[in-house]
């Protein structure tokens, strides 16, 4: 369930330049290979006034997947892009029902990472029979490099989270590279549902699996302070790795029994951040 409410009377909302509206973003970043999934049920967002105000929250938006059979395109944008975001994930964000779908049986939205090789034959050279996705990814086809150059169909655009074209088996100064080997999903309400003050509520089951990184973010709707991340800010509502409880980072527990909430801002994401870990 995703819901939101209007600001109460007598409360002056800030200008977009002062704070800016926020868009809801859901994604699974793949840091390795897995076939687990995230299931999300009802979401809820309530809008309140500025900090310290006692303005009552009024419900202005709700998304209940128990009432849907497919993702509502009037609310959600689905990314179709080769991941090239600051996290350097291993995934291709696909708009495919094998990765992203509403489960009518239990009324949940599901994001289920898979393998690029599982996409099936790909038409990369005009007039040539389709190639196996794995051959395209590895560059083990002819004529190379044309056969291994994958152009994302109806790409949502290169930018902060991705690129529209890549060549499998291409060489770089660091050695051979491949097209990102896994598939996942990234959805956002940007341009369709945004709010400034409020409370976001959601019911979500996070996936278990090595190197998964499920995330729920609030991102600037207008990029008022610049496109480079995180100049315009990013609020991590929740992030949690899919690794088991024994997984550690710098000697600290960092598995799926640990969740974090962080605010990134300014020119340097590492130094300009504040948050909590539970």
Highest mean pLDDT among 71-75, 130-134, 228-232: 130-134
Look over the chain and give the mean of its residue pLDDT values, rounded to a whole number. 77
Q: What distance in Å separates the CA atoms of residue 153 and residue 138, rounded to the nearest whole number?
A: 19
Residue span of the structural domain in which 73 resides: 22-277
Note the pLDDT tens digit of each residue in 53-112: 555 667 777 888 888 888 889 999 999 998 766 666 788 999 998 899 998 888 888 998
In percent, how much of the chain has pLDDT > 70?
73
Omega within 30 of 0 (cis) for the link into 25: no
Q: Please report whether residue 154 resides in a domain.
A: yes
**Sorting pLDDT into bands at 50, 70 and 90, what band is 232?**
confident
At residue 263, the pLDDT reads 86
At residue 136, the pLDDT reads 94
CATH code of the domain covering residue 261: 2.60.120
At residue 7, the pLDDT reads 37
**Sorting pLDDT into bands at 50, 70 and 90, what band is 141?**
very high
For residue 272, what are the contacts with CB-CB under 8 A and spacing of at least 6?
Answer: 230, 264, 265, 266
Q: Please report whether residue 164 resides in a domain.
A: yes
Q: Please report whether residue 6 resides in a domain.
A: no
Pairing of strands 182-184, 91-93: parallel
Mean pLDDT of 156-160: 72
For residue 47, what are the contacts with CB-CB under 8 A and spacing of at least 6?
Answer: 4, 5, 6, 7, 57, 58, 60, 195, 196, 197, 198, 199
At residue 66, the pLDDT reads 84
**Sorting pLDDT into bands at 50, 70 and 90, what band is 203?**
confident
For residue 53, what are the contacts with CB-CB under 8 A and spacing of at least 6?
Answer: 8, 11
Q: Please report whether residue 13 resides in a domain.
A: no
Domain count, the chain: 1
- Record the tokens describing residue 144, joined without a space: 């190379």
Q: Please report whether residue 16 resides in a domain.
A: no
Helix (H) or strand (E) holding 41: strand 38-47
Q: Please report whether residue 58 resides in a domain.
A: yes
Helix (H) or strand (E) holding 76: none
pLDDT surpasses 70 at 39: no
Q: Please report whether residue 49 resides in a domain.
A: yes
pLDDT surpasses 60 at 273: no
Q: Please report whether residue 167 resides in a domain.
A: yes
Higher pLDDT, 118 or 27: 118
In percent, how much of the chain has pLDDT > 90?
21
List Cα–Cα distances, 87 to 30, 191, 208, 259, in angstroms: 9, 24, 19, 17
Note the pLDDT tens digit of each residue in 240-249: 888 899 998 8
Higher pLDDT, 54 or 262: 262
At residue 14, the pLDDT reads 34
Note the pLDDT tens digit of each residue in 2-22: 444 443 333 333 333 334 677
């Amino acid at each position: 369930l995703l819901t939101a409410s209007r600001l109460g009377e007598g409360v002056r909302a800030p200008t977009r330049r002062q704070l800016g509206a926020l868009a809801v973003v859901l994604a699974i970043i793949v840091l390795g290979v897995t076939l687990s999934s995230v299931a999300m049920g009802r979401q809820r967002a309530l809008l309140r006034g500025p900090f310290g105000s006692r303005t009552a929250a009024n419900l202005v938006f709700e998304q209940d997947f128990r009432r849907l059979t497919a993702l509502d395109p009037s609310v959600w944008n689905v990314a179709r892009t080769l991941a090239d975001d600051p996290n350097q994930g291993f995934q291709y964000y696909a708009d495919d029902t094998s990765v992203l779908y509403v489960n009518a049986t239990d009324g949940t939205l599901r994001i289920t990472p898979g393998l690029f090789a599982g996409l099936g034959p790909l038409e990369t050279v005009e007039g040539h029979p389709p190639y196996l996705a794995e051959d395209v990814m590895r560059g083990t086809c002819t004529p190379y490099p044309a056969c291994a150059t994958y152009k994302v169909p109806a790409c949502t655009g290169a930018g902060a989270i991705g690129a529209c074209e890549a060549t499998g088996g291409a060489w770089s100064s660091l050695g051979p590279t491949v097209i990102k080997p896994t598939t996942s999903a990234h959805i956002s309400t940007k341009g369709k549902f945004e709010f400034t003050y409020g409370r976001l509520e959601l019911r979500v089951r996070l996936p278990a699996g090595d190197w998964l990184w499920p995330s729920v973010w609030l991102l600037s709707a207008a990029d008022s302070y610049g496109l480079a991340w995180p100049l315009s800010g990013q609020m991590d509502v929740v992030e949690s790795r899919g690794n088991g409880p024994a997984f550690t980072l710098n000697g600290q527990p960092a598995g799926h029994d640990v969740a974090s909430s962080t605010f990134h801002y300014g020119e340097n994401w590492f130094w300009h951040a504040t948050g909590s870990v539970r």
